[in-house]
Structure 1
Amino acid sequence: MLTPIAPRQSAGRGPRFDLNRWLRWATWALVAATLVGRLGEYYFVFELVSHFVVLYCVVAVFLSAYWLFTGSRLVRITTGCLLLNSFLAAPWLVADPPAAAQHDFRVLHANVLYTDTDMQRTIRLIGEQQPDLFVLQEMTPATIRALVPLRSTYPFQYEIWSKGPCHILVGSRTPFSVDKQAVKTQQVIHLTTTINGREMALVTVHPRTPVLPSWFAERNRQLAYVADLTRREPRPTLLIGDFNISVFSPVYHRIFEEEPVSQPALAACRKGFGISPTWPRFFPPGMIPIDHAFVNGGLRTVRFQPLEQPGSDHKAVVVDLKWADRS
């Protein structure tokens, strides 16, 4: 009697790849990221996943199309994620057509990356943009010394330590005075100067990346401080910096968009100019907007534009502003 021979299995061949199984896992991961990100007010890990709303929209589109094609009920879940993330991203998606608007002064902000030692690229960037004020973050004592050629155009400079090896450097064409108390207690630069005969204030800070509970709390305290300071400042004021927070974070919404009682509102300079992502420059699909500028009621934004910045993991940002009573 002949014994049936079992089919021969290829040596070393593992289980067959199951596409549906992996896409189901991806779907539930998308659901978790969408919902958990809304709890970012309470825990730093939750907030870290809140920043990638646009990326979640893209993933949800592909998953929705696949589940629709296969007739799966999961299409409802992925479509729900798409709608929620689209709702969160919608206020920042619309960009007005660029217009050649006159401005009263210009400010350039750049996170130069503390490991970059070639300051000639930064000098060229400043020379091309010709700002009235510049703010450079992640500077070091060595790179600050390398910017000596800028002293002829920007003779008034001030630097502070912000965190780790990083310093903040502000340069100005006009003399300014600095609030030393803000420097001492908060690692914040708060200065006042006169541009074209008008007095204005500038505030900048570079908080820690919120990857630890203590750093998360410290960042939130610093951001709440500068937001309150800018609202209370009686002069026309610009708040600018790498804040290590995106516009999609619940913490961002609480600090910058909720209007405190009896205090004037802040206006985000990028509003109306699109999302304008700035980091990480080396991975465009995952870029998020974490370099920000805000103005109080004394100023209006006529241009907010990210700029290519070789040598850094960020894009630089240039902001053109007008006095509000001349807009």
Structure 2
Amino acid sequence: MAALAGCGVLLAGPGLLAVVRLFGWDDGTWWALPMAGLPYAALLSVLLLGAAAALREKWLGGVAAVLVLLQLWWLVPRFLPDGTDAPAGAPRLRVATSNNYMGQVSPKALVDLVREQRIDVLAVEEQSDSAADALDAAGIRDLLPYREHPAGTDSALYTRLPVSSAADPAWPYANLTVDVSGHPVQLVAVHTYYPLGDTRRWADGLHRLAAAAPGRTRNAVLLGDFNATLDHKPMRDLVDTGLADTHEELGAGLFPTWPTDHPDFPGVPSVIQIDHVLHGSALTAVDVSEHSLPRSDHRAVVAELAVRG
């Protein structure tokens, strides 16, 4: 009886999260925090389904089975590539995003990443003026000579490719457009507020992106620290404006990007994926990878995209 009661209590967590996800109740509420761990609730549901089978408890097993099916519906697509192949001869664009943790990331390590990964466009978040100067001293201008870093913001874009048009004020974050073999591609460096500080402010940042997106997503790349997973309602609404998540498109599965090397969580591995590269229908994902950088609490994400025009 005690084992049954314990399983029932444990099942309440995944059950509540499933209901919250179904109805989008995490949008601007404290539910945004536990929602970040939804994949782990899926794992717990599977374990509890096994426990219910061992205990021969049909009602518990039935509830656990429903939760497992829901979780599979949400998570399995992230492990299945969508099958879209890049057109032969399509020009490639290599992009990267790195949260520089209040400007503390090793500038040499970041410049080395840009060089080794042959990055065309780099988005940085939590970029201070002093950190920008340190990147210049480390040689970032030699690799990515053009930039967009609006005054008073902590996000910036660096690019190897000449900027073909000015920033679009409709986007709430730093943005620019580059020419990729005759095709304009607009890039937006995203850094939303974190939900632990203010869930309404966090949701509003994603809402503003979604509001700006209609009519602008086809040749757009939004990359950065979204402070949201693909299970969060505001993030799903943003993707639904005509964007694709590079990891999901390639069927890369779950690749957590935070925290890593965080002074407040020593020894804790990355557990949630909040850094993303989203792109519009004029581009196709070719490859994606994650990279740890000294003194950053996020893993950098590198993606290669084919520009279909």
What TM-score comes out, normalization by structure 1 length? 0.78
Select which of 194, 205, 208 maps to 2:193. Answer: 208
Q: Note the C-alpha offset of 1:37.
A: 3.1
CA distance in 1, matches of 2:194, 2:300: 18
Q: Note the C-alpha offset of 1:24.
A: 2.8
Kindly provide the CA deviation profile for residues 186-243 of structure 1, in whole angstroms up to 9, marking residues without a partner as x.
3x12211223444322122211113324313422322213433632x6xx33222221
The answer to whether structure 1 residue 321 and structure 2 residue 298 are counterparts is no
Equivalent runs, 1:265-304 vs 2, <5 Å: 265-270=242-247, 271-282=249-260, 283-284=268-269, 287-304=271-288
Equivalent runs, 1:1-327 vs 2, <5 Å: 20-41=4-25, 42-72=27-57, 73-95=59-81, 104-114=92-102, 116-148=104-136, 149-160=139-150, 167-176=154-163, 177-179=165-167, 181-182=169-170, 186=172, 188-211=173-196, 212-228=198-214, 230-231=216-217, 236-257=219-240, 265-270=242-247, 271-282=249-260, 283-284=268-269, 287-325=271-309
Kindly provide the CA deviation profile for residues 62-105 of structure 1, in whole angstroms up to 9, marking residues without a partner as x.
111112112223122222211111111121122489x9997522
What TM-score comes out, normalization by structure 2 length? 0.82
CA distance in 2, matches of 1:273, 1:162: 37
Give the residue type in structure 2 aligned to 1:153.
L
Residue of structure 2 in register with 1:13 after alignment: none
Runs of 4+ in 1 over 6 A off after TM superposition: 99-102
> How many pairs does the alignment contain?
291
Contact 1:230 1:295 in 2 (8 A): no
CA RMSD of aligned residues (A): 2.8
1:195–1:95 CA distance, 2 compared to 1 (3 A): closer
What percentage of aligned pairs have identical amino acids?
21
Give the residue type in structure 2 aligned to 1:274.
A
1:79–1:171 CA distance, 2 compared to 1 (3 A): same
Tell which structure's C-alpha radius of gyration is larger: 1
Contact 1:162 1:207 in 2 (8 A): no
CA distance in 2, matches of 1:45, 1:34: 15
CA distance in 2, matches of 1:59, 1:161: 46
Contact 2:157 2:175 in 1 (8 A): no
**Secondary structure, in 3 states, of the residue corresponding to 2:67?**
helix
Q: Note the C-alpha offset of 1:301.
A: 1.8
Give the residue type in structure 1 aligned to 2:255.
P
Kindly provide the CA deviation profile for residues 249-268 of structure 1, in whole angstroms up to 9, marking residues without a partner as x.
233222322x5xxxxx3333
The structure, 1 or 2, with the larger RCO (C-alpha pairs under 8 Å, 6+ apart) is: 2
Give the residue type in structure 1 aligned to 2:179.
T
